[in-house]
């Protein structure tokens, strides 16, 4: 199974919209007769690729798969049926499929007389597709809120200027994190005032090939010449101020699994207040402003006992010398825990 997980995590495989999956086929004597992994949407699934390598040697073999073989027909046929047709005798699965549209493969295999085991190294397998797994279990995308702030928690100076609170190395690191998501989300005020393009760029400031969906959330109309509406990447205007509705729409209508929230303090406060932030990434710059815009808006917290608490997962210095920022990665915990 560890080999199958390594195949699933092959560098360069897209993180979305499909899960990364690996498969190893073992002959009855334990010899590897086929391997495969999913290369991205529209390509053969891991099981099908491994079966093609194995050919007739797949008959009587054991399939080791990181994700339950799919049970539906999408761009490709159901992998459960492919395993049955190839004469595979036994299937060992790490993670059960949380996607209701594709799950049920284990039951189909058992009904056809195959021996099926599930749960082997399930957590390790889930770690290969964390946002995809979360989205299908919760019916909404995983949300990462990213912001940059000074030591005193300001995201902009008193005159509204905010370029640049974070350093160049921190901004490059932000683009690396943007590329891990499939959706960039900001509010109408950010688009109207800051006019961000919200694309992913490499270290030479060139746009990368695969761009996330750019989403602006809010009810008011926006000028058509805002950069978020250019042809550098796909874009969408969700005319709602309800974070829950926005996430539900992105999941059910646009198959989105990981939202990278880069809006201003008001939008951030609305997502935090709704309990819809799953991860926080902040770049802390070694500067003080003493006044200016806070990184997050009013959370309705009257006393310290009601504060939002976050668990610190990682601390990393990004850059060096005067360009150094500290990147904190945190996970929200229960509000009011003290």
**Which position among 35, 47, 262, 279 bears the catalytic label?**
47
CB-count burial class (<10 Å; 0-12, 13-18, 19+) for 11 = exposed
Q: Where are the alpha helices (DSSP H) in the chain?
A: 2-8, 46-54, 79-85, 105-111, 122-126, 130-138, 168-178, 188-194, 243-254, 265-273
Residue with tokens 């915990």: 333
Cβ–Cβ < 8 Å for 214, 233: yes
Cβ–Cβ < 8 Å for 280, 330: yes
Element (H, E) at 284: strand 279-285
Residue with tokens 């504060």: 307
CA distance 227 to 192: 10
Q: Answer left, alpha or beta for residue 255, where phi above 0 means left and psi between -120 and 50 means alpha.
A: left
124 is catalytic: no
Cβ–Cβ < 8 Å for 284, 151: yes
CA distance 304 to 308: 9
| Catalytic residue IDs | 47
């Amino acid at each position: 199974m560890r080999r199958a997980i390594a195949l699933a995590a092959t560098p360069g495989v897209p993180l979305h919209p499909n899960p990364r999956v690996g498969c190893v086929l073992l002959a009855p004597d334990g010899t590897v007769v086929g391997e495969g992994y999913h290369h991205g949407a529209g390509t053969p699934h891991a099981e099908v690729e491994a079966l093609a390598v194995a050919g007739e040697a797949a008959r009587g073999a054991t399939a080791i798969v990181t994700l339950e073989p799919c049970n539906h027909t999408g761009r490709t046929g159901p992998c459960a049926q492919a395993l049955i047709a190839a004469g595979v005798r036994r299937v060992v699965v790490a993670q059960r499929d949380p996607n209701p549209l594709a799950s049920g493969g284990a039951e189909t295999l058992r009904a056809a007389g195959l021996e099926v085991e599930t749960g082997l190294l399930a957590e390790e397998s889930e770690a290969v597709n964390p946002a995809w797994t979360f989205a299908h279990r919760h019916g909404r995308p995983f949300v990462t809120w990213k912001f940059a702030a000074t030591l005193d928690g300001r995201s902009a100076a008193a005159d509204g200027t905010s370029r640049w609170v974070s350093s160049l190395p921190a901004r490059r690191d932000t683009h690396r994190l943007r590329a891990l998501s499939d959706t960039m989300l900001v509010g109408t005020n950010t688009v109207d005032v800051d006019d961000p393009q919200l694309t992913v760029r490499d270290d030479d400031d060139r746009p990368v090939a695969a761009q996330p969906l750019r989403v602006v959330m809010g009810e008011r109309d926006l000028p058509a010449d805002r950069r978020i509406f250019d042809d550098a990447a796909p874009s969408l205007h969700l005319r709602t101020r309800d974070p829950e509705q926005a996430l539900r729409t992105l999941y059910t209508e646009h198959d989105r699994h990981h939202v990278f929230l880069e809006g201003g303090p008001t939008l951030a406060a609305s997502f935090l207040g709704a309990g819809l932030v799953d991860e926080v990434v902040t770049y802390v710059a070694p500067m003080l402003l003493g006044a200016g815009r806070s990184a997050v808006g009013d959370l309705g917290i009257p006393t310290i006992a009601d504060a939002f608490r976050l668990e610190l997962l990682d601390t990393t210095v990004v850059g060096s010398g005067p360009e150094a920022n500290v990147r904190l990665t945190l996970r929200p915990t229960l509000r009011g825990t003290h």
